[in-house]
Structure 1
């Protein structure tokens, strides 16, 4: 284990542009950040913004020279000039355990890779995600995520704050009572959320696989245990069944009709559709995924679905009260390209500022973490990024990340701190 962790840290330092954390989040360290423009994550904009951070938390957000938490007239610890400062992005659907082995195919349990290879690859995925400006991510799900989550929390490896469902609920054979017990087991194991497969995949038409009674048992028990639920549902029937069962968030929903979109809005269910990234990623790397078992028919389905998803998203945008949140379903080779999904959403009709809010304060609400992350405001965790340009006008600016701070620790900065 010690050798593996040493390799992880070496990997973090060797990546292009990588730096050791520039500041710790001790209670005695105060840093100030100045930028020409600040997007607060809730739709607000400030100019000539100063943010004061202490102990990993934001203690002041001001326009002009700082008056709180730092003496007037002091230089900024991090002078970001014309960059746009904003909250770190929150991706509510990632798969950091997916990676491509040296043999050019997706990692499988029996492919010969050992724990060190898997740990390095997962750490690399998380590092790429953090450097892309994602400071919180939800993995749904993998049984090994707990160790990864805890390693990031202890700063053994650099990465976004990680939430996980651990192993998802896939088996359709247990009774409702057995599924309720399984939810309690996941909670005892330390899961942050319950991931449920209510339908088959695209290749099988997304047909409903869990019965209505099973879905009601899973989502009902999760609510009783104070846990959130995220449901893989592709067909209209599976989306409707999951919503009526009281589940909290729907992923994908490619074949949802306007009736299901309205039902989600009426029931206050979060909706995380994918417009392009995960689909395009499969198509862009046909060789890898062919070696991993994808067929010609699989790629035809992916191509057809990619052409259809912008229309679904446009209909979702027009559904009053529907809570659209950002989840990319990033798999192998997509990590670090997460913001491409936001660009596709804007191309499908979403206002850039609304896309940003869906990936910051709204995403935080979906995770139940709105009091800690998703906005630049006093009392919030100091999860901050800065980009070249103004993403509220040009969403492509999110691809030009120049500064990353998570919980008060700086992981990416193009210059040297003005003072320490």
Structure 2
């Protein structure tokens, strides 16, 4: 069989008419399980999984095998962002899109956002709430119809009437209606169970609730508690029956405490988290997904005239600048951390900026990387398939120019992306 050698952006790829295994020569390799950076390794990929990791630079063993030369780079497992919104992206007209966009408009836009996310090195994401188009997007990615990360989606977020994810907030009285569990609005224990079951019927992978007010919803409070503890327990109990875990958006302290005691798996944002709440998270084993990038981006955009509605601006100024400080305190106190950015609130593809903010707040670079690899794998019950470069794991592999434990900013420029054994960026 004839083997040809091709070069893309300085990366040498040997291709064959009928390729079997792919040999990836890595100058450095991040061992996320043990927290080490290894040198001169060869990763052998077979199909969509990693077949072996071998010492030194091993050459392809047959003429049908192919070679990818990453000897000048640092190789890592594909990253996971535990908080994205792939249906949309921030822009000054976003609040009009509910009235001017059709479902197809959101769907077509989501395809581009998904590909941008994948090319930034994020081979898996947790999609935390949209219109339901996110479920169709996941299915399209899984079917190979569009390029994107592996998606775990909440479908529609659950809220109370007037809560952060009530889909008709700010509408006029002719349009506002009275949305209920089918639309993701919960006002009782009975509603809570029904809403979870509805999301299961719709095809969701997990449940997301808005346990407190939020920044970007056109509603007054950024942080008031918006579910009773009994309602949250009804959600988490029902979710468990369906194999779901529950993520809780929360800025305010009381709402966080109710969510933690109610049995949620993750707290998103956590801006006004007290030390008491941090200790409660440690007691219950609740993970914190900080979304520092979103906080910084919304506080910056709040200073642009007419970018946000007037009711949103003071909330963005109040909440946005505080998340990084809260994250630093929570990390030092021993709270479990999972990487998440809230991409969509800012431009997709900039997810890796979060690493720099985490390190800036006091988290070692290796731990920040682990928070985006092995930690999400545990939460998503993928710990034997995702988050590591090891035999039997998905062939989700990325590469950056430098050693990120020495320069974390290199994570913002991913040079190579493979997902499921297919090269998407080289």
Q: Shorter-chain TM-score category?
A: 0.7 to 0.9
Aligned pair partner of 1:30 in 15, 18, 21 = 21
Match of 2:43 in 1: 51
Report the CA distance between 1:366 and its aligned residue.
1.6
Give distance in 1, aligned partners of 2:26 and 2:49: 18
Give distance in 1, aligned partners of 2:56 and 2:61: 13
Match of 2:32 in 1: 41
Report the CA distance between 1:297 and its aligned residue.
6.1
Q: Which has the higher contact order (CA 8 A, sep 6+)?
A: 1
Match of 1:14 in 2: none
Match of 2:382 in 1: 369
Query: Is 2:248 the partner of 1:243?
Result: no
Query: Is 2:99 the partner of 1:84?
Result: no
Query: Which runs of 5 or more structure 1 residues have no equivalent in the other structure?
Result: 1-16, 414-420
Give distance in 1, aligned partners of 2:62 and 2:331: 45
CA deviation profile, 1:217-262 (whole Å, cap 9, x unmatched): 1111112322110011111111110111111111111111011111
Give distance in 1, aligned partners of 2:105 and 2:21: 38
Match of 1:6 in 2: none
Match of 2:107 in 1: 119
Equivalent residues of 2:79, 2:123 under 8 A apart: yes
Match of 1:8 in 2: none
Moved more, 201-210 or 336-345: 201-210
TM score, norm. by length of structure 1: 0.85
Distance 1:76 1:65, change over 3 A: farther
Match of 1:146 in 2: 135
Match of 1:342 in 2: 355
Give distance in 1, aligned partners of 2:305 and 2:28: 42
Aligned pair partner of 1:391 in 399, 404, 410 = 404
Match of 2:368 in 1: 355
Report the CA distance between 1:120 and its aligned residue.
2.7
Equivalent residues of 1:23, 1:410 under 8 A apart: no
Query: Which runs of 5 or more structure 2 residues have no equivalent in the other structure?
Result: 1-7, 162-185
SS in 1 for 2:107: helix
Aligned pair partner of 2:119 in 114, 122, 131 = 131
Report the CA distance between 1:307 and its aligned residue.
3.2
Report the CA distance between 1:336 and its aligned residue.
0.2
Match of 1:5 in 2: none
Equivalent residues of 2:257, 2:280 under 8 A apart: yes
Aligned pair partner of 1:208 in 193, 207, 225 = 225
Report the CA distance between 1:206 and its aligned residue.
0.6
Query: Is 2:345 the partner of 1:323?
Result: no
How many residue pairs were aligned?
385
Report the CA distance between 1:296 and its aligned residue.
5.1
Query: Is 2:198 the partner of 1:185?
Result: yes
Give distance in 2, aligned partners of 1:184 and 1:89: 30
Give distance in 1, aligned partners of 2:284 and 2:110: 36
SS in 2 for 1:80: strand
Match of 2:316 in 1: 302
Distance 1:354 1:152, change over 3 A: same
Give distance in 2, aligned partners of 1:110 and 1:243: 32
Report the CA distance between 1:371 and its aligned residue.
1.4
Moved more, 376-385 or 331-340: 331-340
Equivalent residues of 2:397, 2:417 under 8 A apart: yes
Query: Is 2:282 the partner of 1:282?
Result: no
SS in 1 for 2:118: helix
Equivalent residues of 1:48, 1:63 under 8 A apart: yes
RMSD, aligned α-carbons: 2.7
SS in 1 for 2:424: strand
Equivalent residues of 1:95, 1:140 under 8 A apart: yes
Distance 1:260 1:286, change over 3 A: closer
Report the CA distance between 1:39 and its aligned residue.
0.3
Query: Is 2:189 the partner of 1:176?
Result: yes
